[in-house]
Structure 1
Amino acid sequence: MPRTPSKRTFPNVAQHRTAGPYSPVLEVDARRLVVISGQVAVDLDGSVVGSTIEEQTRATLENCRRLFAAADVGFADVFKVNVYLADISEWSRFNAVYEEVMPPPRPVRTAIQAVLIRGHRVELEMWAARPE
């Protein structure tokens, strides 16, 4: 059975020129929510993967992708992302990787600088709406 889109954007909403790769507002058909806990760049043995923000962002996104696949959803179904960066000066480098991976319409997003555990540079929490 084909899946119906769960997100709708509002293209006439004005956004400041410094806006990153995210949607300012989304409408979500949220009959079934799939939420994943904060994910970091760690393998199944618990070892940190990567040392740069780019490497850790890719590894963290892959962990998110794997968890969503178990629930039969993908990044196209994600409507909300919380981003925690150990160093906010790495924001543009994080965004470059994120923009390569996350399909439009991109989720709404919140980002903050935070103290992260064990040498991690980024942590992501994501919410998805599973289409019927």
Structure 2
Amino acid sequence: MSLSTNNTVKIVPASQQHTTAGPYSPVLEIKAGSLVVISGQVAIKDDGSLFAEDIEEQSRHTLMNCERQLAAADCGFADVFKVNVYLTDLKNWPAFNEVYRKVMPDPLPVRTAVQAALLENFLVEIEMWAAKP
């Protein structure tokens, strides 16, 4: 059983998933004193300009913006238990996952991904739910 650093998020040992599953957990058990929810983040700078044009860099900067918002609530990626990912093109899913795998710790959050029309020239938008002890 893998636990986050604050012991509020753990994998349910009896859960199973298919062998082709991506970087996510199928089921998590959450024990939280409070929840932190961040709204959809994109690869945007404080001045409103876009960080990058390609999916890898947009994914990286979007995750950095998520991390910054979580930190404002005294949380980090280890506290995240649910992630919603919105991509303009599901063909970008493998490239997004490569970036995502590098920053998200175990246990990996449960996750949903959908193709969606996004504002401006954004290729990815991410929202997260975190548990505080």
TM-score band, normalised by the shorter chain?
Answer: over 0.9
- Matching residue of 1:16: 18
Structure 1: unaligned runs, 5 residues or longer: none
- Matching residue of 2:91: 89
TM-score, with structure 1 as normaliser: 0.94
**C-alpha distance in structure 1 between counterparts of 2:12 and 2:37, whole Å:** 24
1:26-105 → structure 2 map (5 Å cutoff)? 26-105=28-107
1:30 is displaced (CA, Å) by 2.4
**Letter in structure 2 aligned against 1:28:** I
- Matching residue of 2:6: 4
**Letter in structure 2 aligned against 1:93:** A
TM-score, with structure 2 as normaliser: 0.93
**C-alpha distance in structure 2 between counterparts of 1:92 and 1:79, whole Å:** 21
**C-alpha distance in structure 1 between counterparts of 2:6 and 2:86, whole Å:** 31
* Count of residues in Structure 1 that have an aligned counterpart in Structure 2: 129
**C-alpha distance in structure 2 between counterparts of 1:31 and 1:13, whole Å:** 24
Computed over aligned residues only, the root mean square deviation of the Cα atoms, in angstroms, reads 1.0
**C-alpha distance in structure 1 between counterparts of 2:18 and 2:71, whole Å:** 34
**C-alpha distance in structure 1 between counterparts of 2:115 and 2:47, whole Å:** 27
- Matching residue of 1:120: 122
Q: Percent of counterpart pairs with the same letter?
A: 60
Deviations along 1:68-90, one digit per CA (max 9) or x if unpaired, are 11110000000000000001001
